[in-house]
Amino acid sequence: MWKPDRDSNKPIYEQIADYLERRISYGEFPPGSLLPSERKLAEQLGVNRSTIIAAFAELRSLGIIESRTGSGTRVNKTKWGATPKHTPNWRRFAEGGNFLPNLPFLRRIREALIQNPTLIDFASGELSADLAPTKEIAELMNNYEYTSYLGYDNPQGSTLLRQALVEYLAKYRGIQTTESSILITSGSQQSLYLITQCLLSPGDAVAIEDPSYCYSLPMFQSAGLRLFRLPVDAEGAQAEDIRALYKKHRIKMLFLNPNYQNPTGAVLSDERRKQFLDVTSELGLPIVEDDPFSLTSYDGEAPLPLKAKDSAGAILYIGSFSKIAASGLRIGWMVAPHSIVERLADARQQMDFGLSIIPQQVAGQFIKSSYFEPHLDRLRMELRFKRDLLIEALEQELPSAAQYTIPQGGLHLWCKFNNQINDSKLLDESIKKGVVFVPGSVYGSDSGFVRFTFARPKAEDIRLGISHFSKAIRELDLNV
Amino acid sequence: MWKPDRDSNKPIYEQIADYLERRISYGEFPPGSLLPSERKLAEQLGVNRSTIIAAFAELRSLGIIESRTGSGTRVNKTKWGATPKHTPNWRRFAEGGNFLPNLPFLRRIREALIQNPTLIDFASGELSADLAPTKEIAELMNNYEYTSYLGYDNPQGSTLLRQALVEYLAKYRGIQTTESSILITSGSQQSLYLITQCLLSPGDAVAIEDPSYCYSLPMFQSAGLRLFRLPVDAEGAQAEDIRALYKKHRIKMLFLNPNYQNPTGAVLSDERRKQFLDVTSELGLPIVEDDPFSLTSYDGEAPLPLKAKDSAGAILYIGSFSKIAASGLRIGWMVAPHSIVERLADARQQMDFGLSIIPQQVAGQFIKSSYFEPHLDRLRMELRFKRDLLIEALEQELPSAAQYTIPQGGLHLWCKFNNQINDSKLLDESIKKGVVFVPGSVYGSDSGFVRFTFARPKAEDIRLGISHFSKAIRELDLNV
């Protein structure tokens, strides 16, 4: 956000007038539109209201804006510019296109965090700064010789990183593959986007876990897919549900997150894994297996992915560094039949012409470096510590109100509250008290559920955050 | 591509058998499908045919494949696996989805370059390795302190880079803007993708230059847009054509590349610039201005972009580092009304969750560094030198056959040949002779046109490349 330069020779009110004129001329405030109030602008720009009044007077004298008592200040409709210019109707364009905006809850959370960066953040599904390997990555960047050609890369992604991932997948996930079966993506989000956009057609039916991260992705709706639910209990989803869905709706694809499922933390049981593989190979049905959390396993032993036993070649496997190293790297991968990798790589060339070579090099160096294992050990220990802090805080602040299963890996705690509390009111009240979380309905659940991401806030803020939250929930329900 | 490891203790034929088994189990060769011939595999893997015969024998003994005289080797339909597995019909999935594959010519060029990296490359629209600031960027990476949080970034892109671009745009392109009006993208391709996907709807009519880079983008067709032509002559496109198109087809948006247009190299004349601004502001019609080449201007003085005079706020301005620094950075930007920037940033979160922070930091450091200006000076000099080498070679090898206007900036020479030569045959013949280019029809022109990118081949290869090309063209037409 622009702020006036207090060291400049130009008076602040003039800087503000110039700034507003620029925004007006760039169509952010079209002719006839209402400007923000003097009070609001003063607050945003951190100046006195009298400075805004002076800036407005300047713009009025130039014929750029006009003010009428009681109806605010507007951009001049008639006098602006030498000849009447027609600004494109940007609002119409912004509302056009196939692409649905993000869910209102998620946008509200994002805005709240921008407006007040001191909010304690149980909402963002990522690691806190101190858990990311910032120093290690800076060290690698400072010491490695970057001599490779900075041209357009292989559409599947950097060969070096794919080679490093072949070893990584064999060592940590029991997956035997070759680099021709790997597509580097900018994270699981892009993997899912490519699959929904390029392999499925509008009207296709797919099955997703309930509750599930996939519900929070308007991309499924934007692609015109019909979504069907696979209820998740303590042992994950159930394969038997697939048969009925397949019969009735001819579902085309299945989205599963078997280890430390987002948001529930559930781990798919061994027996159910086998059933899923059997049912889907019987039906010739592909599974998209999302596996972002396995390496966070607090005791170091996450179950192997379905992909490790995929003798029918039915699984599109998705992984990423976002939850185990740094989301800001924007590096993920997909393991899939080569024909699918080629198709998605080709389509991605049309979307963004592939990823920057630099973070791919850095990520490849990181997993091959001696930093990687100690980082993982520390990450697991710290996540377990933060999980325990959260549970302790909940037990003390809301002893009988919160129900949950203690997760053995991942970044989140999925919490049910006894009361049928309005999600939206609880979020608003929590933001007022200084804390954010993601309401369960974002993942398709009934109201009264909350996802707390304990990985994101600083350890020392967890107790205070839950204290804020308990005040918010008590405001809405005296019985808690 | 996988190759056997000659230093391994495992015999090569066993490595190959394992490799093929893996590819089969991953569904690249479904049950019943034909494997490549022994001869072809031997060639691909760089081994003797007898080694492939041994690998096949191994797989046959395991019941994984079966061979019949005269009908090749197939994956076993019945015995593969303990129970019959149904592999998903990946071919159907790969052909599904809304997204059109890349143009056949472009895919053919890509494949030719992968198969034979010694081809002289006049096709890839990018800088050669020696023109990219590889050393400077490595230097920055090695010396800068990377301490910033590697978490999810601002959806509009790194604040530091946007601040650096505000200065850059003012200094080099005469554009006054604020960082709230800037969206960082992974290059012009992503900017165009976001615009076509999120601001336009299927069935919308848009005007594009003829010939134009936009014709080579299936993304326009994938988005269901109707394309109308604005013929480009030596002074660019003509604004008068807009009025007729608007009346007849209600075009919604206009795509222009005013400086050193791709592929023609034309520069839109001052008079026509004014007319475009007048007509579009009269009609309230937005212009997407693509400006990737201006800083390559050989005499250092490219005309200012339309955006610099955009008093109606009608222009979505697109820039990038791909053609002036390094395409492998994957950093571009859009300057647009804030409401549009917000809409596109929100949609992009659904597609890839934004860009990696690392190349954004590096790019921001680079343009603010003392390396930037000397790099530009060298780039301009070298591009002019390569342009002259190309023209000299054409004059000597094909003295009367090639017609062109000498470009004053950019990476390409647009060449017309007198004869109605079949594009496809000319490309095939050229690949055989050791050189690739892009046939003009990729940009929507009649046949007989060729785009030579002189920026991409090494200076010392330009003469030889044109010699190869002239042999190819003489093969098809003895009159040349």
B 361-390: CB under 8 A from A: 362
Q: Give me the mean pLDDT over the A235-255 stretch.
A: 93
Compute the distance between CA of residue A180 and CA of residue A193 in angstroms, rounded to an integer.
21
* Beta-bridge partner residues of B233: B236
- For A28, which of B329, B337, B352 is closest by C-beta distance? B337
- For A145, which of B138, B282, B285 is closest by C-beta distance? B138
Confidence tier at A27 by pLDDT (50, 70, 90):
low
**Which chain B residue's Cα is nearest to A350?**
B219
3-state helix, strand, coil in chain A (%, to 5): 45, 15, 40
- For B26, which of A127, A181, A330 is closest by C-beta distance? A181
**Max avg pLDDT among B15-19, B169-173, B200-204:** B169-173
Q: Give me the mean pLDDT over the B389-404 stretch.
A: 94
According to CATH, the topology of domain A134-370 is Aspartate Aminotransferase; domain 2 (3.40.640)
CA distances from A467 to A406, A463, B239, B244, B310 (A): 20, 6, 64, 66, 52
In this structure, what DSSP letter does residue A236 have? Answer: B
**Which chain B residue's Cα is nearest to A147?**
B134
Q: Indicate which of A3, A62, A85 best probes the interface with B, i.e. most B CBs within 10 Å of its own CB.
A: A85
Q: Give me the mean pLDDT over the B115-136 stretch.
A: 94
Task: Specify whether the CB–CB gap between A235 and A269 falls below 8 A.
Answer: yes
Q: Indicate which of A1, A185, A353, A360 best probes the interface with B, i.e. most B CBs within 10 Å of its own CB.
A: A353
Helix axis angle for A270-283 and A240-249, nearest 10°, is 30
A 43-82: CB under 8 A from B: 81
Q: Say which residue, B221 or A357, is predicted with more confidence.
A: A357
What's residue B82's pLDDT? 37
Question: Is residue A83 predicted with pLDDT exceeding 60?
Answer: no
C-alpha closest to that of B318 among B246, B258, B401, B237? B258
Compute the distance between CA of residue B205 and CA of residue B246 in angstroms, rounded to an integer.
9
- A124–B2: do the CB atoms touch at under 8 Å? no
Q: Give me the mean pLDDT over the B399-424 stretch.
A: 91
CB pairs under 8 A between A and B: 367
* CATH no. of A12-95: 1.10.10.10
What's residue B478's pLDDT? 64
CB < 8 Å to B152, chain A:
124, 126, 327-328
Assigned architecture for domain A104-130+377-476: Alpha-Beta Complex (3.90)
Q: Indicate which of A2, A15, A25, A26 best probes the interface with B, i.e. most B CBs within 10 Å of its own CB.
A: A26
Q: Say which residue, B35 or A169, is predicted with more confidence.
A: A169
- B181–A26: do the CB atoms touch at under 8 Å? yes
C-alpha closest to that of B237 among B280, B197, B194, B204? B280
Question: Is residue A467 predicted with pLDDT exceeding 60?
Answer: yes
Task: Specify whether the CB–CB gap between B217 and A350 falls below 8 A.
Answer: yes
CA distances from A140 to A158, A166, B7 (A): 17, 21, 29
B 425-464: CB under 8 A from A: none
Q: Indicate which of A5, A62, A141 best probes the interface with B, i.e. most B CBs within 10 Å of its own CB.
A: A141
Compute the distance between CA of residue A356 and CA of residue A91 in angstroms, rounded to an integer.
32
**Which chain B residue's Cα is nearest to A219?**
B350
The model's pLDDT over A104-154, given as tens digits with 9 standing for 90+, comes to 899 899 999 988 999 999 999 999 999 999 999 999 999 888 877 788 888
Q: Give me the mean pLDDT over the A200-226 stretch.
A: 90
The residues, ordered by sequence, that sit 6+ positions from A87 with a Cβ below 8 Å of its Cβ are A27, A30, A31, B281, B284, B312, B313, B314
Question: Is residue A357 predicted with pLDDT exceeding 60?
Answer: yes
Give kind and range of the element (H or E) at residue A66.
strand A65-68
The model's pLDDT over B57-72, given as tens digits with 9 standing for 90+, comes to 888 877 778 887 777 8
The model's pLDDT over B229-240, given as tens digits with 9 standing for 90+, comes to 999 999 999 999
- Gap from A167 CA to chain B (nearest CA, Å): 13
Q: Give me the mean pLDDT over the A308-333 stretch.
A: 94
Rounded to the nearest integer, the mean pLDDT of chain A is 90
Q: Give me the mean pLDDT over the A192-196 stretch.
A: 95
Q: Indicate which of A145, A146, A221, A358 best probes the interface with B, i.e. most B CBs within 10 Å of its own CB.
A: A358
- CB-based contact, A170 to chain B, within 8 Å: no
Confidence tier at B81 by pLDDT (50, 70, 90):
very low
Question: Is residue B77 predicted with pLDDT exceeding 80?
Answer: no
Confidence tier at A446 by pLDDT (50, 70, 90):
confident
Out of A19-33, A380-394, B410-424, which region has the weakest mean confidence (pLDDT)?
A19-33
3-state secondary structure A296-340: HCCCCCCCCCHHHHCCCCCEEEEEECCCCCCHHHCCEEEECCHHH
CB < 8 Å to B129, chain A:
149-151
Confidence tier at B222 by pLDDT (50, 70, 90):
confident
Parallel/antiparallel/unpaired status of strands B226-231 and B205-210: parallel
Parallel/antiparallel/unpaired status of strands B120-121 and B435-436: parallel
Question: Is residue A95 predicted with pLDDT exceeding 80?
Answer: no
Q: Give me the mean pLDDT over the A15-31 stretch.
A: 78
What's residue B83's pLDDT? 41
Question: Is residue B403 predicted with pLDDT exceeding 80?
Answer: yes
* Beta-bridge partner residues of B66: B74
CA distances from A298 to A263, A293, A302, A372, B114 (A): 17, 11, 9, 16, 44
- CB-based contact, A238 to chain B, within 8 Å: no
Q: Give me the mean pLDDT over the B142-167 stretch.
A: 89
Rounded to the nearest integer, the mean pLDDT of chain B is 90
For CATH 3.40.640.10, list the domain ranges present in chain B. 146-370
For CATH 3.90.1150.10, list the domain ranges present in chain B. 104-130+374-476
For CATH 3.40.640.10, list the domain ranges present in chain A. 134-370
Confidence tier at A174 by pLDDT (50, 70, 90):
very high
Q: Give me the mean pLDDT over the B299-309 stretch.
A: 92
Out of B81-90, B250-259, B284-293, which region has the weakest mean confidence (pLDDT)?
B81-90
What's residue B300's pLDDT? 78
Q: Say which residue, B380 or B65, is predicted with more confidence.
A: B380
- CB-based contact, B330 to chain A, within 8 Å: yes
CA distances from A177 to A313, A337, B27, B60, B349 (A): 11, 10, 12, 22, 30
Question: Is residue A3 predicted with pLDDT exceeding 70?
Answer: yes
C-alpha closest to that of A336 among A165, A201, A214? A165
Specify the residue for token string 């992915």.
A305
3-state secondary structure B441-474: HHHCCCCCEEEEECCCCCHHHHHHHHHHHHHHHH
* CATH no. of B104-130+374-476: 3.90.1150.10
- B151–A102: do the CB atoms touch at under 8 Å? no
By CB atoms closer than 10 A (0-12, 13-18, 19+), residue A366 is buried
Q: Say which residue, A469 or B77, is predicted with more confidence.
A: A469
- For A312, which of B87, B96, B339 is closest by C-beta distance? B87
- Would you list the DSSP string of B280-309? HHHHT--EEEE-SSGGG-TTS-PPPPGGGG
- CB-based contact, A22 to chain B, within 8 Å: yes
At residue B343, the 3 state secondary structure works out as: helix
Task: Specify whether the CB–CB gap between A331 and A184 falls below 8 A.
Answer: yes
**Which chain B residue's Cα is nearest to A216?**
B350
- Would you list the DSSP string of B140-164? HHHHS---S--SPPPTT--HHHHHH
Question: Is residue A397 predicted with pLDDT exceeding 90?
Answer: yes
Give kind and range of the element (H or E) at residue A53.
helix A49-61
C-alpha closest to that of A250 among A200, A314, A290? A200
Copy the structure tokens of residue B337.
Answer: 């009304």
- For A86, which of B81, B185, B281 is closest by C-beta distance? B281
Out of A80-94, B260-274, B324-338, B392-406, which region has the weakest mean confidence (pLDDT)?
A80-94
Copy the structure tokens of residue A293.
Answer: 């959390």
Q: Give me the mean pLDDT over the B307-311 stretch.
A: 91
CB < 8 Å to A86, chain B:
281-284, 312, 314
- Gap from B19 CA to chain A (nearest CA, Å): 8
Task: Specify whether the CB–CB gap between B110 and B436 falls below 8 A.
Answer: no
Confidence tier at B33 by pLDDT (50, 70, 90):
confident
Question: Is residue B427 predicted with pLDDT exceeding 90?
Answer: yes
Task: Specify whether the CB–CB gap between B261 and B236 falls below 8 A.
Answer: yes
For CATH 1.10.10.10, list the domain ranges present in chain A. 12-95
Q: Give me the mean pLDDT over the B69-76 stretch.
A: 82
- CB-based contact, A189 to chain B, within 8 Å: yes
- A330–B356: do the CB atoms touch at under 8 Å? yes
CB < 8 Å to B411, chain A:
none
Task: Specify whether the CB–CB gap between A56 and A74 falls below 8 A.
Answer: no
**Percent of chain A clearing pLDDT 70 (strictly above):** 97
What's residue B25's pLDDT? 66
At residue A253, the 3 state secondary structure works out as: strand
CB < 8 Å to A93, chain B:
199-200, 286, 340
Give kind and range of the element (H or E) at residue B424.
helix B423-433
What's residue A378's pLDDT? 97
Q: Give me the mean pLDDT over the B465-471 stretch.
A: 97
According to CATH, the topology of domain B146-370 is Aspartate Aminotransferase; domain 2 (3.40.640)
Burial B17-47 (b: 16+ CB within 10 A, else e): bbbbbbbbbbbbbbbeeebeebeebbeebeb
Q: Give me the mean pLDDT over the A380-391 stretch.
A: 98
CB < 8 Å to A24, chain B:
313
